[in-house]
């Protein structure tokens, strides 16, 4: 029995947007689905992996995922690829070239934009890629839309012969609504059609495709004007009309229920003439879109008088409250919705808790060590849970830009440091999945250019930040079946790092780790340190018996607190004066034993030996290293 496929055809079930997309991909008869995990898109492939009759697989990065999907499309099958917005940057090389050649079997690319930056380093608008690559964009507003538009995307892809981008946002991906589902209908087999003039992207072949791309643009524009995915939500107040897309369309409808809303389903090409006709029925036109004013600009270019970002915020989600206040202020009747809210800030009734690593996380010790070497090092970080190493109490990260950039940026830092930084060691910190995603090329470049960088590969055997997905370094595939596992030690050596400069270490052996990092940062060549403990949130982690603080022995030195482990709490603070007359802050600690994983790292920082087993007979590893 499969709970997903047992849903009655025509029945309604509660799905998130991600689950709805997955269901529609399965219903479309797609043969292959690929992805690299990234919030807010991760659950699409995780859900697809639970359906039969479709091959779902994680790829090492988004470019690889898209290229695999392209290959399946060229073989005549329907194929699907999912990623978050910054992932499409990685896949852009394949996207831009294949967009010109087109596809054979239907090819749908779901891109999830993190509007509001809930878990991303930027708020880019993926709709730009449709204009850049001459590809159609569909933009659902909620889960039922996501389901229906995914099905429509496959049909459109095969009708026009090009990939289709399904632009999602965090609110669509994660909010659940009732969705009416259908059955799986496998399309007829198309097979591979050998056509080197189309599929081999030589300059002469690509040049010949440009006129066909122009013809396709015209076809897509005509289809967009008549698309059933665009609907009119009528209203009695004709003083204003709204053109909106995505979840902002639903917010607009709720915020201004009497105002007509033209809800766009296909947002590129923009149905300009349909909007022009709508504009004639209202006194003023407001474009509501997240986040860039793309539709607004195209309508202005077409000669329409519209409002948009002159009225609405340029960043963040366009919620009901935001729209009500913005439109009321624009109309001059802000009092009708109350005073403008104060700038967002911490709720004084809620104790502030910044994001931090988990209790016993194997990344705690590396950043504790780096924090102790802070004055003598420059630290280039990467994307993962360990990015939190930039925060309190470690403050042990100087840069973090994108996946895999830690080593390449470290190389630049090492080559160009000067002044008081000239003698500082340069350290790169990267996780196992990120290293496989886009870090290997950076290490190759370090070795090739004889850089003076120490690389820390923090191997916790999962893609931890997005929920514990598998990758080639875990030894398992998306279904939990055993798969070949990368040997990081052998891989790093094969890439040219000298064998005596490659080390594997248990991060919970804190003194050993500290000594190793300090020693390797003093060696003027590439060296690699690999930590080898699994994420504490996976079943690969083996927790040890918990620890406690003997309160009468605690001197308030604060060493354990500086590890950053959230299981360690400050019970009280005191100020004392040393014999030399200096003021010293003391922080007395306790360990939440129910939260403690017994990793032993804090024991190594405790000068008075005040940290002991909660149950002495059950903790064989408490000896100091």
Q: What is the pLDDT of residues 329-359, one digit of tens each?
A: 998 885 555 444 444 555 566 666 678 899 9
Q: Which of 450, 473, 296 is nearest to 384 (CA)?
A: 473
What tens digit of pLDDT does each residue of 281-328 get? Answer: 999 999 999 989 999 999 999 999 999 999 999 999 999 999 999 999
Q: Do β-strands 425-431 and 454-458 pair in parallel, antiparallel, or remain unpaired?
A: parallel
The pLDDT value given to residue 103: 96
The reported pLDDT for the residue numbered 208 is 92
CATH of domain 364-531: 3.40.50.970
Cα(73)–Cα(67) distance, integer angstroms: 10
User: In angstroms, rounded to a whole number, what is the distance separating the alpha carbons of residues 91 and 85?
Assistant: 10
Please give the backbone phi and psi of residue 102, each rounded to the nearest 5 degrees, phi first.
Answer: 90, -155
For residue range 447-474, what is the model confidence (pLDDT) as tens digits? 999 999 999 999 999 999 898 999 999 9
Q: Boundaries of CATH 3.30.70 in the chain?
A: 547-618
What's the rounded mean pLDDT across residues 95-113?
96
Range(s) of the chain covered by CATH 3.40.50.920? 231-337
- Is 599 annotated in some ligand binding site? yes
Q: Where in the chain is the domain with CATH 3.40.50.970?
A: 12-225, 364-531
512 pLDDT above the threshold of 70: yes
Q: For the domain covering 231-337, report its CATH number.
A: 3.40.50.920
DSSP letter at 63?
Answer: H
pLDDT value at 82 more than 90: yes
- Rounded to 10°, the helix 203-225/143-160 angle is 130
Alpha helices in 142-202 (DSSP H): 143-160, 170-174, 196-199
Q: Is the pTM of this model over 0.85?
A: yes
According to the annotation, is 358 in a ligand binding site?
no
602 known member of a binding site: yes
Is 385 annotated as contributing to ligand binding? Answer: no
Look at residue 345 in the predicted model and tell me its pLDDT. 56
What's the average model confidence in pLDDT over 182-198? 92
User: Confidence class of residue 131 from pLDDT cuts 50, 70 and 90?
Assistant: very high
584 — pLDDT class (breaks 50, 70, 90) = confident
pLDDT at position 390: 92
Structure tokens at 417: 């440091």
Hey, what CATH topology would domain 547-618 get?
Alpha-Beta Plaits (3.30.70)
Residue with the larger pLDDT of the pair 475 and 621: 475
Average the pLDDT over each of 158-172, 236-250, 308-322, 352-366 and give the range with the smallest value. Answer: 352-366
Q: Please name the CATH architecture into which domain 12-225 falls.
A: 3-Layer(aba) Sandwich (3.40)
557 a known binding residue?
A: yes
Q: Is 535 annotated for ligand binding? A: no
């Amino acid at each position: 029995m499969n709970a997903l496929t047992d849903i009655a055809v025509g029945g309604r079930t509660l799905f998130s947007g991600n689950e709805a997309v997955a269901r529609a991909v399965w219903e479309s008869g797609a043969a292959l689905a690929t992805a690299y995990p990234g919030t807010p898109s991760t659950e699409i492939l995780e859900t697809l992996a639970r359906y039969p009759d479709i091959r779902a697989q994680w790829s090492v990065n988004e470019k690889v995922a898209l290229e695999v999907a392209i290959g399946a499309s060229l073989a005549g099958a329907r194929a699907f690829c999912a990623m978050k917005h910054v992932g499409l940057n990685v896949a852009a090389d394949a996207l831009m070239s294949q967009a010109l050649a087109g596809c054979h079997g239907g090819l749908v690319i779901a891109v999830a934009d993190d509007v509001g930056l809930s878990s991303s380093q930027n708020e880019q608008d993926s709709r730009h890629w449709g204009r850049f690559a001459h590809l159609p964009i569909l933009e659902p507003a909620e889960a039922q839309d996501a389901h229906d538009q995914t099905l429509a995307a496959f049909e459109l892809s095969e009708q026009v012969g090009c990939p289709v981008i399904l632009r999602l946002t965090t609110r669509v991906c994660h909010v659940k609504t009732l969705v009416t589902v259908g059955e799986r209908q496998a399309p007829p087999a198309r097979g591979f059609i050998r056509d080197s003039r189309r599929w081999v992207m030589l300059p002469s072949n690509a040049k010949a495709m440009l006129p066909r791309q122009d013809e396709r643009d015209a076809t897509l524009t005509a289809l967009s004007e008549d698309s059933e995915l665009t609907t009119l939500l009528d209203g009695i107040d004709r003083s204003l009309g709204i053109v909106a897309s995505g979840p902002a369309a639903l917010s607009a409808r709720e915020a201004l229920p009497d105002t007509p809303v033209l809800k766009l389903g296909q947002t590129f090409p923009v149905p300009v003439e349909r909007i022009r006709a709508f504009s004639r029925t209202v006194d003023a036109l407001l474009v509501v879109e997240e986040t860039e004013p793309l539709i607004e600009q195209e309508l202005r270019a077409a000669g329409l008088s519209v409002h948009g970002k002159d009225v609405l915020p340029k960043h963040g989600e366009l919620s009901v409250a935001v729209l009500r206040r913005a439109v009321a202020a624009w109309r001059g009747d802000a009092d009708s919705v109350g005073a403008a809210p104060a700038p967002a800030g911490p709720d004084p009734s809620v104790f502030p808790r910044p994001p931090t690593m988990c209790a016993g996380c194997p990344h705690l010790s590396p950043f504790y060590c780096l924090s102790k070497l802070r004055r003598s090092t420059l630290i280039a970080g990467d994307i993962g849970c360990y990015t939190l190493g930039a925060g309190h109490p470690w403050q042990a990260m100087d840069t973090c830009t994108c996946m895999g950039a830690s080593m390449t940026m470290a190389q630049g830092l090492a080559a160009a440091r000067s002044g008081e930084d000239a003698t500082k060691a340069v350290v790169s910190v990267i996780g196992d999945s990120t290293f496989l995603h886009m870090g290997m090329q950076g290490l190759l470049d370090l070795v090739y250019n004889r850089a003076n960088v120490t690389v820390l590969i923090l191997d916790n055997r999962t893609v931890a930040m997005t929920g514990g997905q598998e990758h080639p370094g875990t030894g398992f595939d998306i279904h939990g079946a055993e798969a070949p596992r990368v040997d990081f030690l052998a891989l790093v050596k094969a890439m040219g790092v000298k064998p005596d400069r490659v080390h594997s270490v248990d991060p919970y052996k804190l003194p050993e780790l500290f000594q190793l990092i300090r020693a390797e940062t003093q060696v003027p060549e590439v060296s690699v340190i690999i930590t080898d403990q699994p994420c504490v949130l996976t079943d690969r982690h083996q927790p040890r018996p918990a620890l406690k603080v003997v309160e009468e022995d605690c001197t308030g030195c604060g060493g354990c607190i500086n590890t950053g482990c959230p299981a360690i709490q400050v019970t009280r603070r005191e100020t004392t004066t040393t014999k030399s007359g200096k003021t010293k802050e003391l922080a007395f600690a306790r360990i939440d034993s129910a939260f403690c994983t017994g990793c032993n790292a804090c024991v190594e920082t405790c000068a008075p030996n005040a940290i002991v087993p909660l149950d002495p007979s059950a903790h064989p590893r408490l000896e100091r290293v």
